[in-house]
Amino acid sequence: MASLALKNLFHDKIRLTVTLVGIVFSVVLSSIQLGLFVGFQRATSDILYFSNADLWIASKNVTHAEDGVPFSERKLYQALASPRVERIEKQIFQFTTWKKPDGADTGVLLVGFDLAGGMGAPWNITEGRIEDLNQPDAVMIEELYKDKLGVSRIGETVEIRGHRAKVVGFTRGIRSFTTSPPVFTSFKNAQNFFGLREDQTLFLVVKAKPGVDPESLKSELQSLMTDVDVYTRAEWTSKQRNYWMFGTGAGITVLIAAFLGLLVGVVVVAQTIYSATVDHIREYGTLKAMGASNFYLYRVIVTQAFLSGLIGYAVGMSVALLVSRISLEGTTAIILPKELVVGLFFLTILMCVGASVVSINKVTRIDPAMVFKG
């Protein structure tokens, strides 16, 4: 039976190629769209996720991290009243404008963090030192966006919201999910760029003492301060992702494209497997006349679909992984985590076997008497 399926599959090379092209196209399209989704999702919250904070305190009812409204740093001292807090730092996280050396404007995401504590600091620094951000007006940028920001080396000066800024270092791999690249600076510098008062901040980030449950600390802090909202890391990153992925519709678009990729795959595979079944309908009818059960014929068809899916997936995923690897050198990352790679394998097999159901239906209805019709 397996031999029949295998031989049937490989006998017509053109049909096999058409089937495999359909599956490969579907796997590549779905993988890349889902990889873009994951990359986009991570980019929206990586800076928050890697900040190493356990809790965020924001003004009431912010919809996302870039939506922060200034509030008094007195909240910091109120929060410190809890003995379970290890430390609290001020943070600024906001879109602003960047004037390139050639005078052109572009948007950036300015991240001002407490240099002494380090929550929210950049990672993967390839040039410069974190301490260099202690200098007035010093900023550190992501090297993927050098061209976009009009900067090619350390020491160059630009303007942020009309204030002079000097590039003192570069990071590697901290991507933006929008057209605004991340720019890191000290909290003090960020305060100056935004013209905030000395006692104002946009966020407070909290590190809990070892062994303290962030959820219970959140409840405690929330009860201490009524005019701000307190979030755990999971809540804050989730809020950020949900806003950008679904609130803006950007993620939905990517998901729809991935779904369409799968749909195209199902249609192409169903059509080719059905067409192959129709081509062999007389032989299937002969088998049925000879006494083959419907189950026997199903196994032949499903095995063919499974093998098509296996080969198509292997080729398609190889292409997708290559594209993913290349994308990591650019500003738009296509990230294919292990779970996605494994999940897509099962989805592809399910898609192919599911597509063969149409053919199975055809075989079930074969009238074995057809074999007597010359």
Site residues (vs other proteins, CB under 8 A): 1, 3-4, 7-8, 10-12, 280, 282-283, 285-293, 296, 368-369, 371-374
First to last CA, the chain: 26
> Least separation, in Å, of the C-beta of 259 and other proteins?
35
Least gap, CB of 316 to other proteins (angstroms): 25
C-alpha 346/C-alpha 331 separation (Å) is 30
- Cα separation, 301 vs 309, in Å, equals 12
Shortest distance, position 298 Cβ to other proteins, whole Å: 14
Instruction: Count CA atoms closer than 13 A to 25's CA, side-chain side.
Output: 15
Are 344 and 31 in contact, with CB atoms under 8 Å apart?
yes
Instruction: State the minimum distance, in angstroms, from the CB of residue 354 to other proteins.
Output: 24
How do 85-99 and 203-208 pair as beta strands? antiparallel
Smallest gap from Cβ 2 to other proteins, in A, equals 10
Nearer to other proteins, 205 or 292 (CB): 292
Based on CB atoms, which residue is closest to other proteins, 11 or 197?
Answer: 11
- How many Å apart are CA 121 and CA 49, to the nearest integer? 11
Is the CB of 60 or the CB of 282 nearer to other proteins? 282
> Which C-beta is closer to other proteins: that of 324 or that of 356?
356
CA pair distance 319, 87, nearest whole angstrom? 47
In the bound state with other proteins, the residue whose beta carbon lies nearer, of 82 and 275, is 275
DSSP 350: H
Q: Which is nearer to other proteins, 4 or 358 (CB)?
A: 4
Neighbouring residues of 263: CB distance < 8 A, sequence distance ≥ 6? none
Closest distance to other proteins from the beta carbon of 357 (Å) = 20
Residue matched to tokens 């803006």: 248
